[in-house]
Structure 1
């Protein structure tokens, strides 16, 4: 538990740092690299590349090696951060609106959905019941949850450990919350269709298997640095781009497509990682304290 508390405090501070420095016309590359370095300087390791989702981009975008993109004025920006200490992972996210109050309702929808989910969390609750709460809150603000994105159970060195927490009352998510479980819960709200689709770009990868006839030296290098957690080519400047194409083809790595709101709607997100206790839950990154 001590490890989770320590890394949760680092993620909380990293999120606050990200909110303090993000501004219109800031290079996305600068934002990602500064926040990742903040995590390292604080004594943790990024559990995945910093995700920066602008506008209708919901998830899985991180800066490329020479990323030309800037943060637009008046945009809705999701900043999703993960860190770990010795494999104990905390995953959290915030949404900021730059230069306008027009999207306050959208931002409040996902924020309040996370708040109500936290208030409802307790042992014995089924995951779909949390989704039911999230959907109800988001709809009360006049928006839709994103139905095909979920929160997820976390284990040591395993960011997505199988069980999910939906953003609506999907009764197939029937697992019971148990003391000691760790869950990332991440309500997404949108003024679009409520579904994400795969974009054409991949900026984040993870190892899929440990053996490769052609690229074993690269596989070993990646594993020694990030284990089986997600990574970005930015972190391995000496590995050529051709490796990623070849390794995707032979199944050595898995690529996360950038996820885009299917109707072109704007997306907001708030997320925290919760440690389930005997009578409730501990919010490890204290995301709700940041707004």
Structure 2
């Protein structure tokens, strides 16, 4: 039997214990049974201190902290959700499509979290790029700033996760497919219009998104036009929508703008021979094209597909041609099996396959994995139809081009703009 004095002591202890609840586990045991287990007849308390919670890692500036250390539960931010329009509006509330959505979320082959992880890498890297890129930097410095961030945040791991394609840094009249090769001496100027096209992949799911930077206001309207055209393309896209109709909507928005340069008015033109595209697994161009002008393509977008809605505008002729030293390459997915007469070509192909698979690469990436004196072998692989080269694509000299791009996912119930961010 416990005396009155002992009860008072016990009550004080319980009050004291409540004040320390942050340091005590909820399942702590208080054994007040006299003589329990042959022990002395006194109150016994067992206290367990909580393990201190791990603090969530904070991103550095420039970003270099892997996202798994920040999103420790493996759940990454969802992109912007847009409901389907018109005949597909029913999908948002359809019980059948909601079921399809749940199944898609659980399917390891679809992996929404993989593409969202790649998209979050893209957002953080590009927002840092917008902050740090300034005239006076070499193009190699700009490329390294972006790619070092992408590799660190995605926690590059062979073909499991890494860079989706070489960082596009096309300047002025050059619209696409320029990245610096080793020894490039180009320096960013205050009057330049710089297209920054970044690719990130996780398990072969590629996020492809681009924006344009300028450092003085002359071409602000050009950039505004192209951004608006991309937003139009994203808005008009959807399951069962015909690709030719999207091209017409993009062109209408793009060509409603004009740019004044030194007192002269230039119409903004959609670049007619560039396009957006579907995205396949480890395949940046998945087979379907979204042209930037009205056309008769009756091909439809389909449920479950990924698309890069990519638009280019120009103050020039609105058509690009190949021009300049090539930097971009990719192994062709269905390349023919042909005998290679050069031993160096065989060795290089093995290196390309193991390091990049069918993902695009550039000469700097070959340098990085230790390849040397490879140009002859690389050109031989191109000539044999095993590797595709992608030279820079340029409009007329003196003109200016701009680019914006988003990756969208056509989910069963809604359209998710995977790469949307606060910046664009």
TM category (shorter chain) comes to over 0.9
Matched, 1:225 2:355: yes
- With 211-220 and 125-134 compared, the bigger mean Cα shift is at 211-220
Question: For 1:90, which of 207, 210, 220 is the aligned residue?
Answer: 207
Distance of 2:385 and 2:299 partners within structure 1? 31
Distance of 1:252 and 1:180 partners within structure 2? 30
How many residues are paired up? 288
- Relative contact order (alpha carbons < 8 A, sep ≥ 6): 1 or 2 greater? 1
Question: For 2:177, which of 56, 60, 67 is the aligned residue?
Answer: 60
Give, in angstroms, the shift of residue 242 of structure 1. 2.7
Distance of 2:381 and 2:241 partners within structure 1? 41
Summarize the Cα distance change of 1:230–1:152 in structure 2 as closer, same or farther, 3 Å threshold.
Answer: same
- Aligned runs of 1:1-291 on 2, under 5 Å? 1-43=112-154, 44-98=161-215, 100-142=216-258, 143-172=268-297, 174-208=298-332, 209=335, 212-214=340-342, 215-237=345-367, 238-240=371-373, 241-262=375-396, 264-286=398-420, 289-291=422-424
Distance of 1:194 and 1:64 partners within structure 2? 27
Give, in angstroms, the shift of residue 264 of structure 1. 4.1
Give, in angstroms, the shift of residue 129 of structure 1. 1.5
Contact 2:118 2:207 in 1 (8 A): yes
Can you list the C-alpha shifts for 1:17-73, whole angstroms capped at 9, x where unaligned? 221221101110111122111111012411111010110010000110121111111
Distance of 2:171 and 2:233 partners within structure 1? 25
Give, in angstroms, the shift of residue 252 of structure 1. 3.3
Contact 2:348 2:378 in 1 (8 A): no
Q: Secondary structure at the match of 1:47?
A: strand
Q: Secondary structure at the match of 1:89?
A: strand
Q: CA RMSD in A?
A: 1.6
Distance of 2:247 and 2:414 partners within structure 1? 17
What residue ranges of structure 2 are gaps of 5+ in the alignment?
1-111, 155-160, 259-267
Contact 1:118 1:281 in 2 (8 A): no
TM-score by length of 2: 0.65
Give, in angstroms, the shift of residue 121 of structure 1. 2.2
The structure carrying a bigger strand percent of its residues is 1
Return the index of the structure with the highest Cα Rg.
2
Q: Secondary structure at the match of 2:251?
A: helix
Contact 1:88 1:155 in 2 (8 A): yes
Contact 2:168 2:178 in 1 (8 A): yes
Contact 1:122 1:278 in 2 (8 A): no
Distance of 2:315 and 2:188 partners within structure 1? 21
Give, in angstroms, the shift of residue 81 of structure 1. 0.5
What residue ranges of structure 1 are gaps of 5+ in the alignment?
none
Distance of 2:233 and 2:119 partners within structure 1? 18
Give, in angstroms, the shift of residue 158 of structure 1. 0.8
Contact 1:122 1:277 in 2 (8 A): no
Summarize the Cα distance change of 1:24–1:233 in structure 2 as closer, same or farther, 3 Å threshold.
Answer: same
